[in-house]
Structure 1
Amino acid sequence: MKNIAVIGYGVIGKRVADAIKRQDDMNLIGVCDVISDWRIQNAARKEYAIYAATQEAADKMKSEGISVKGNMSDLLKIADLVVDCTPKNIAAENVTLYKKQNIKFILQGGEKHETTGHSFSAENNYQSAINLDATRIVSCNTTSILRTLSALKRAHLLDYARGTLLRRATDPWESHLGGIMNTLVPEKSIPSHQGPDAQTVDPDLDVITTAIKVPQTLSHLHYWNIKLTKQTTKEEVLNAFKTSSRIKLIRYDQGLVSNNTIKEMFMDMGRPWGDMYEVALWEDMLMIQGDELFYAYVVDNQAIVVPETIDAIRALTGIETDGVKSILKTNNSLGI
């Protein structure tokens, strides 16, 4: 059993904390943040040990009736590994502290690859992460790219890939603070950052992405055009995708015609927050013409990286040295 700390109890942090609690080979020893509102209050209701990142945060938490067990340094002293889920760029500042205290750490995809020197996707490079001091879970979109393209690559079907990403404007709970309305905002650079990010995990991928921010918050939507290595059948392509336990094939003709209907399905399945840890790929939309493959899928930006994070904990701490076994264990615990 390894002692795991979560720094940052936001959209990703709360999900990672809950996922850790579902595992039988790791302990959630505490969560740390600066907030004192309903978010950290819910963590206290779950009887998670609460730590404050600053003295000011501790004073505010105590004024709200939250029992504060200690500060961030106190939490790190008893942790074997820390999962940093703080907002973009804050985690990079925390790295100095983690290194000073000689503690293993995992960052999320908002940070640069160079911050850890290793980027993680469980089905791709679990073995290379075993007993490392640090890794970075690639972003939600990059995770989906790696899962789908790697499945095709394993089947020796992938020549090169070109994808267009329709990106949600903001997280659902922050819709009142920002986002966009009545407009579409193309990412200025081609390729967009997701393609090069995927290559930090698999440098051999020939992938180019473009991205457009759209006025909705439920999920991302990807369209892909794949140059195949040979002419093949739809069945062979679907069988390739089925080699990933984290790709869920869905059907348009079953009423799953949009991201809101897909979200409703996962809520009906009883997933916490209606989370979709899998890539939801339309099998009846998938089409092959000659040596070209076309398909589309949906990505839950709040949930897809959660199982990856659990697997990364096992790899870095050496709890499990077999990636397949870790993935299966994580899947079973989360209902994938």
Structure 2
Amino acid sequence: MPVSPAPSDTDVAARLAGRTLELVDVASESRSEARLAAHVARVLRDGGAEVTELGDSCILARPPGTSPGVMLAGHLDTVPAQDNIPGSIDAERVRGLGASDMKGALAVMIELVLAGAPYSALFFPREELPSTESALVPLLQRSPVEAELVIVMEPTDGELHAGCVGNINATWTFRGRSGHSARPWAAENAITRAALGIATLASAPVLPVQFHGLTFHEVASVTRINGGIAANVIPETCTAQVNFRYAPGRTPDAAEARLRELCGGLGELEITGNAASAPVALEHPLAQRLIDAGELAVAPKQAWTPVAEFAQFGYPAVNFGPGAPAQAHRRDESVEIARLLHAHRVLEALAT
């Protein structure tokens, strides 16, 4: 019986690009992923894959009869649209909401399973929301999955990004006493107090932290601020939202203590979310095989990703995907077709 020739790069790239555009055009903003989950499940079933729906728009798929040691994982949701859906395609890129983060990666996952590559593929919702709304943690609690290594296909520009930084969100409240703006000496301005606190935080240098040979950076930022009720009233309350990214090796409790230290004891700091960092899994033999399969550059993941949630449940996990971190969440978001092909070929090579 003649053996069918392997698909050419041109054919695979065209299929990946078309699949990415197809997924972009199925809206799936966070909390509204059910339609895309149903679409992905249908595409995989129609292509002959074994599909298990795990509830809450979580889907596990694999080629029939395989028992994969490596699991590919990707989130179905996107940030809110910015007039960038439906998408479009040209000779070099697929453009549109979620193209880079991370519907291009979902397309790679789908096409590998349909081609019979010995991977399981896990699709899940609500990654773009605070960790308190995670769908992955409850899933792993109720339905543990089998995997020796998890490859989370977050945007990495085709590099392997190891570990991830932890992520604290906090509300920082400053209090004063209201009064007439014509007589500010008779009041205490909460915004002025907030400005002093924010200046203290902003003066703290970025802290580089070496962990397993990689340099992560600890950094705190004020991301939102709100205060005042009228143009002629000295405000009695001002609140700021603070985000702190901390390196692997620092526990969540130690990270909270460090953020309070950076805030200089000023104002009232309420921690509203604390997603732990993830260890570096580069010593795992399958991670080394992945690096070798694509001759991949290795870098620290200077962001939070679900590798931390997998690590919480004992799964070694790394980040590798075709998207570009610099493209994520942009109005003009896009993914390079060449990167889609690269990710597909690297994972093919790992499988063999």
Q: TM-score range by the shorter chain?
A: under 0.3
Q: More helix by proportion, 1 or 2?
A: 1
Which structure would you say has the larger Rg?
2
TM-score by length of 1: 0.26
**Higher RCO structure (Cα 8 Å, ≥6 apart):** 2
